[in-house]
Copies of this chain bind each other. A is one copy, B any other.
Amino acid sequence: MSSELKNDRLIRALLRQSVDMTPVWIMRQAGRYLPEYRATREKAGDFITLCKTPELACEVTLQPLARFALDAAILFSDILTIPDAMGLGLSIVEKQGPQFARPVRSKADIEKLTVPDPETDLRYVMDAVRLIRRELDGSVPLIGFAGSPWTIATYMVEGRSSKEFSLAKGMLYEEPANLHRLLALLAKSITEYLNAQIAAGVQVVMIFDSWGGALAQSSYREFSLDYMQQIIDGLDRDADGNKIPSILFTKGGGLWLDAIATAGSDAIGLDWTMDIGAARRQLKDGVAIQGNLDTAVLYSNPEVIRNEVAKVLASYGAGSGHIFNLGHGIHPGINPDNVAVLVDAVHELSQPYHQ
């Protein structure tokens, strides 16, 4: 598959094969910081319609690629498409974020849930993937994604965004068997969902474990990592028999890198709280690393951005296996011109590390 790509830097770096320069993409690169995204979002009327309309999802997926020399596209979607397809009644409330009309609180609630069929219940996602692949025409690879079972479960149990996870963690400590049942169902649903994305054409998959870092050290493996490993173990090859590289990102997971590396992903996403060179040494080059510029650097100016990009590149050092990214998603208030500076700086300043 990667041989058909005009730019296969991302795939090569994920597989730790040599590249001419370090590939770069930006988490949430199709998002509110772009005026053209806000215009399409306006046209859609609301966020959920934007996600569910393949033509519009395709449009916003491609927008950042028209501006910046990015080495990947990432499917525009949301981690809550799966519980929405399970019938929980997703809505996005202004300034409050996602809410579910029917949260999952009891054993009976969990027993009622079934694994969605991706090609029917989530067909709009697969249609978007097919459309984006056609529009990309092999220019760069398309990344598909899903939330982690634990991360999706927090929203399903809480019914909304949370900082304290009182209900989800209450279930973890008091009714762990219920939570395990929910997580197992989600792991199966996510595996089928990602495999449908692969069949539809995504060339890389990423799992976002946004709230894994909120777990206690003693709970992380049991309630988050093990289920992500199940998903990675269950990933299909593409139609040509090629392995689809995977990226696993637990925000706030810096203390657990060694454990994360055992889950079998090709790359580990790193937030900005850890030195990427130290992470590389700790992981003994056994896995590629994606990250990890502090997103807030993009609030500064081109000179500072170039300096901070140079520091991350120097910390990683020579050789392949580095996918440049921010340590977290880009914020809505950032000036898009600064993203251009970042992308160009990565390409220019990384070349000496690949000679």
Chain A contact residues: helix, strand, loop or mixed: helix
Asked whether, in the complex, the Cβ of B296 is within 8 Å of the Cβ of A217, the reply is no
On chain B, the residues within 8 Å of A108 by CB distance are none
Is the C-beta of A304 less than 8 angstroms from some C-beta in chain B? Answer: yes
Asked whether, in the complex, the Cβ of A300 is within 8 Å of the Cβ of B173, the reply is yes
Contacting B at CB under 8 A, from A294-323, are 294-297, 299-301, 304, 308, 311
Is the C-beta of A160 less than 8 angstroms from some C-beta in chain B? Answer: no
Nearest residue (CB) in B for A296 is B169
Asked whether, in the complex, the Cβ of B173 is within 8 Å of the Cβ of A304, the reply is yes
Contacting B at CB under 8 A, from A268-287, are 272-275, 278
User: How many residues of A are counted as interface, with CB atoms below 8 angstroms from the partner's CB atoms?
Assistant: 36
Is the C-beta of A222 less than 8 angstroms from some C-beta in chain B? Answer: no
On chain B, the residues within 8 Å of A217 by CB distance are 272-275, 278
Asked whether, in the complex, the Cβ of B273 is within 8 Å of the Cβ of A331, the reply is no
Distance of A176 from chain B, by nearest CB (Å): 9
On chain B, the residues within 8 Å of A167 by CB distance are 299
Contacting B at CB under 8 A, from A244-286, are 252, 254-255, 272-275, 278
Beyond contacts A164-B295, A174-B300: 15 other A-B pairs, Cβ-Cβ < 8 A, are A164-B333, A165-B296, A166-B299, A166-B331, A166-B333, A169-B297, A170-B300, A173-B296, A215-B273, A216-B273, A216-B327, A217-B272, A217-B273, A252-B252, A252-B273
